[in-house]
Chains A and B, each alone.
Chain A
Amino acid sequence: MSDTADDYSYDYEYLFKIVLIGDSSVGKTNLLSRFTRDEFNPDSRATIGVEFATRTLEINGKRIKAQIWDTAGQERYRAITAAYYRGAVGALVVYDISNSDSYESVSRWLKEMKEHADANIVIALVGNKSDLEHLRAVPTEEAKNFAAEHNLLFTEASALNADNVEFTFHQLIKSIYEMVSKRKFDMDGAEGSGNRDLNSKTITLTPAPKDKKVSKNSNCC
């Protein structure tokens, strides 16, 4: 494979795998399509299995490619989708501000992530459908406090009118970048302080810019 690596040109220095999770019908697929293609489709079908889309953006002068995996919301798929957490450095846990059940489920999603994902994964809590203010069932303050308690980033956004969608993803990707840079620094400085098992899992998440082949290996699913 290494001999073919030069055939490809890479226009990014980092590749971050991010997962979108949350109850059915909270708007995961549309958040993704809004962010990656600036599209919104009110008639989108339920996601089955996983789908993904990517977008490259620049943060702190570094070109970062976000590879975002959209998963099915239904409980039944959990056994399957658990595999998709592997290698993820970021997660958006989405709920619908007009649906309190979807907010109640957030704890369950966090728990699941704890079981399957890297302990250092950066998580953002996103209240989608902020355009439905008149139907709001989840107070902003409450979700904000919950996020603070659990050390999560927090935003409210609307895939429908694009409000805050850019910010939501940017904030997450920036945090991931900071986390990754810091860890890289820590690892370079004090080898062994971290969890070795963790390091081997996330090797693909900290590609050295000079070693371009790494990004080809980074599709670790």
Chain B
Amino acid sequence: MSSYNDYVFSSEESSVDDIQQKDGGGNIDSMGEKRPSFFRSLTSLGRSSHEYSSGNVRTSISSSDHINSKEMVDNSKAVIGAGFSHMDRVLPEQIKAKHHHRSHERHHHQAALDDGLGDDNDWNPVIELPTRKVKSLTSTTRSIKSSLTPSVVPQPAYTAASPKTSSVVRDPDYPCIRPDWPELLNDPYGILTKLQPPEHDRIRYGKIVRALTKQPFDMYELKKQTWGGIPQCVRSLVWQILVGYLPVNMNTRGSVLSRKRKEYVKSITQLFQGSKDEAVWHQIKIDVPRTNPGTKLYSYESTHRSLERILYLWAVRHPASGYVQGINDLVTPFFQVFLANYLVKMEDIEIIDPHTLPKDLLNAVEADTYWCLTKVLDTIQDNYIHEQPGIIRQIKELKDLITRDEPVLAQHLEDENLDFIQFAFRWMNCLLMREFDLHLIIRMWDTYLSDFPNGFSTFHVYVCCAYLRRFGPQLVNMEFQDIIMFLQDSSKTRDWTEEDIEMMLSEAYVWQSLYENALAHLK
């Protein structure tokens, strides 16, 4: 009954080439409405990007459109100091001028978007900006600065059913998201030029930014700096680099990102036009609403549609495993971190309704999530194929480690006839996501991703080991069923903080260092 249109971004464009020829002609989005599309914004931004990277003033400056001049001047030092050493030294005056210029151009772009000059194949990015729009943008900026309350989810700017949708869509007033989202979307590195170091996290932030901007880029250095956690404000960017999704080459990253996102949209479009694998689809449909229950973000229809598309595409493209229950959990860290990146207040992420965000933004977040999820799952594919040999191997490794290091605990578990698979299966299948709050998992993933591609397959076992050891003293006094019930109950970690997680990760690291290259110890 629910039309496939719910899942299809566009019923018009049949191929990326087609779209490119049309120069980002209007697409019908999932609401079935005609409006300037994701493609258009990408195309136009892509054009700008190209211009930036080949011009004298580089991306770091160009993407600062929405910072007012004063801020820009203040930031300029940071920008330059942040290691864009290849960049021409830019004086504050130049920045101002450039800023003005870009700002103007952005207004053009925004106006075109806002006016939704519809299905116009002859859409022209250089049109005069209506005065009303300038006001509107200004007021938006002001309102963002002054009065955002964290608990307020903005009124939906458009609704699927409304016939007036297209006129409402043009409203640029999305108070929850950063006004510079289109630039960030196009070049996630832009975030570096816009940030003030977080008050409480200056040192870590500084180290990571230095690693990010070091020329030539050094992945090892970045991994080293991110092992101990990543400040929220740069997490999205860093994660995308660590999994190898976002290129570090500034000349190509814009185009790669744009291509990947288009490819995703195209794949989804094609996927939902054809007949579906009903068994897989059914399983996804019943699991998605059961993902992270209790968190508002995951209760919205819009979130459900996004997760369904991501999971179904992944499943169809990985027929050896298909969709396996638990993979739905693994989508959420990426989805949440990437979405939060565009929010004015990142803390709002748990309550935001994605439906209230610009469709282009959501599409890009969805595509980024899909690709990064794919990168991670590639490293643990054995976990989800027939008979799940990866999980069996990890459980055996865990048991070997415990037997070696905690003989009393291991003996007790054996005496109780307790098989590791009875409690550790879920730890491996869901990467401990059922055991901790998502915000703690996200912290864990900072470290896992800094050890990419081994974090999820190898290091994770040591983390499970550290986790089990923590409860050793309690477990040795319990009987079989109390042990099982204790371990399957996730409320025991409710009071855990990031510090607890970091202790556990550190302990895991110590054990890994001891045994990783000396497996004979386990014999």
Contact = CB atoms under 8 A, between A and B. Distances in A.
Interface of A: 1, 8, 24-25, 43-46, 48-54, 67, 72, 74-77, 79-80, 83, 101, 216-217, 219-221
A77 B293 CA distance: 22
B387 A79 contact: yes
A53 B486 CA distance: 11
A76 B388 contact: yes
Interface in B371-419: 384, 386-388, 391, 415-419
B283 interface: yes
Contacts of A77: 325, 388
Contacts of B485: 52-53
B290 A74 contact: no
A142 B429 CA distance: 38
A79 B388 contact: yes
Contacts of B325: 24, 46, 48, 72, 74, 76-77
B388 to A, nearest CB: 6
Nearest to A49: B425
A221 B419 contact: yes
Contacts of B294: 43
Interface stretch (B50-58, B304-312, B347-355, B476-484): B476-484
Q: How big is the B interface, by class?
A: 35 or more
Closest 9 CB pairs of A and B: A43-B293, A49-B425, A219-B480, A25-B286, A79-B387, A219-B417, A49-B426, A48-B426, A74-B325
Contact of A50 (B387, B391, B418, B425): B425
A48 B429 contact: yes
B233 to A, nearest CB: 30
Given A24-B325, A43-B294, A221-B422, A48 B386 contact: no
Contacts of A45: 290-291, 293, 434
B479 A8 contact: yes
Contacts of A49: 421-422, 425-426, 429
B322 interface: yes
B247 interface: no
Contacts of B422: 49-50, 221
A51 B425 CA distance: 10
B417 A67 contact: no
A48 B490 CA distance: 13
B417 A46 contact: no
B287 A24 contact: yes
Interface string B279-302: 100110011001101100000000
A112 to B, nearest CB: 15
Contact of B388 (A8, A54, A75, A80): A80
B290 A46 contact: yes
Interface of B: 279, 282-283, 286-287, 290-291, 293-294, 321-322, 324-326, 328, 384, 386-388, 391, 415-419, 421-422, 425-426, 429-430, 434, 479-481, 484-485, 488
Contact of A24 (B283, B384, B419, B488): B283
A221 B416 CA distance: 11
17 contacts: A1-B415, A24-B286, A24-B325, A25-B290, A44-B293, A45-B290, A45-B291, A46-B326, A48-B425, A49-B425, A52-B488, A53-B485, A74-B283, A76-B322, A83-B421, A217-B417, A219-B418
Nearest to B489: A51
Nearest to B391: A80
A181 B422 CA distance: 29
A78 to B, nearest CB: 9
Contacts of A43: 290, 293-294
Contacts of A101: 282
A39 to B, nearest CB: 13
A46 B294 CA distance: 14
A48 B282 CA distance: 17
User: For B291, B419, B430, B488, which residue has the most chain A Cβ atoms within 10 angstroms?
Assistant: B488
Centre residue among A48, A72, A77, A83 by max chain B CB count within 10 A: A48
A202 B422 CA distance: 20
A220 B279 CA distance: 33
Question: Which one of B291, B324, B484 has the highest number of Cβ atoms from chain A below 10 Å of its Cβ?
Answer: B484
Contacts of B416: 219
A48 B481 contact: no
B326 A48 contact: yes
Contacts of B324: 74, 76
A52 B425 contact: no
A220 B384 contact: no
A46 B433 CA distance: 13
A209 B140 CA distance: 76
A52 B486 CA distance: 11
A160 to B, nearest CB: 16
B276 to A, nearest CB: 15
A193 to B, nearest CB: 29
Contacts of A72: 325
Contacts of A46: 286-287, 290, 325-326, 328
Given A76-B325, A77-B325, A80-B421, A48 B484 contact: no
Contacts of B321: 76
A215 to B, nearest CB: 10
Contacts of B293: 43-45
Contact of B417 (A53, A76, A83, A221): A221
Contacts of B326: 46, 48
A57 B58 CA distance: 74
Given A76-B384, A80-B425, 9 more contacts: A24-B283, A43-B293, A44-B290, A44-B293, A45-B434, A46-B290, A76-B325, A76-B386, A216-B479
A52 B487 CA distance: 11
Nearest to A74: B325
Nearest to B278: A101
A48 to B, nearest CB: 5
B394 to A, nearest CB: 13
A52 B484 contact: yes
B434 A219 contact: no
Residue of A51, A54, A217 most packed against chain B (CB within 10 A): A51
Contacts of A44: 290, 293
Contacts of A217: 417
A217 B416 CA distance: 8
